[in-house]
Amino acid sequence: DIQMTQSPSSLSASVGDRVTITCRASQGISNYLAWYQQKPGKVPKLLIYAASTLQSGVPSRFSGSGSGTDFTLTISSLQPEDVATYYCQKYNSAPPITFGQGTRLEIK
Amino acid sequence: QLQLQESGPGLVKPSETLSLTCTVSGGSISSSSYYWGWIRQPPGKGLEWIGSIYYSGSTYYNPSLKSRVTISVDTSKNQFSLKLSSVTAADTAVYYCARPGDCSGGSCYFDIWGQGTMVTVSS
């Protein structure tokens, strides 16, 4: 099975900072990669699919890139409301569907 | 707009079967060409895909849970259901149902999630 590894596991950044989270697949998955945001006590929310397509309604400060095995989620200017845990998820080919272990983002 | 709602017991005894239902409103479960999913999240931990079902009844399961999981669909009620047998404390989690956005093969990302239901396994 393909494993998804996120880094870092947690990070702390200041408001206005550019933040990058990485997700690496153990095998190539083309661009079949989604990113979710989960705020404390809330339901996961889809941010990006197909590695770089922004879900409707998601602020443009969020962006995604990558293909194959290496992917990134970038927040161009961190806002206080972006405090959350972020998960990547691969959805290429047949299951199993796999999530990364999550990256907890805090405000410094 | 389309909404999903999980329902079922919040407390299950060890060795028994966990049963949950996801009711879809604001749209038809049969209108999606993709696989509806169940995902769970143990307290303080990450997301784990449990399995997915097509409206015709075709299923995929997480290999780590496959021997204990059954997912079924009732299109007349616009519902799909999860059964997890022989539960232990390790199955304590928030259980989510979710609508597929787009898929490749039988794998999908999920664009609409239910609110989740907490299930505790304890005697």
Largest CA distance in chain A: 40
B105 chain-A contacts, CB cut-off 8 A? 92-95
> To probe the interface with B, which of A32, A91, A99 has the most B CB atoms within 10 Å?
A91
SS3 content of chain A, % helix, strand, coil (to 5): 5, 50, 45
> Please, what is the average pLDDT of chain B?
95
CB-based burial label for B56 (10 Å; 0-12, 13-18, 19+): exposed
Show the tokens assigned to A14.
Answer: 């200041």
DSSP state of B91: G
User: Cα dist. B33→A50, A54, B55, B80 in Å?
Assistant: 18, 22, 8, 15
pLDDT in tens, B96-105: 999 999 888 7
Name the minimum distance, in Å, from the CA of B17 to any CA of chain A. 23
Average pLDDT estimate for B55-75: 95
pLDDT in tens, B17-50: 999 999 999 998 987 778 999 999 999 999 999 9
Count the alpha carbons within 13 Å of B114 in the hemisphere toward its beta carbon.
25
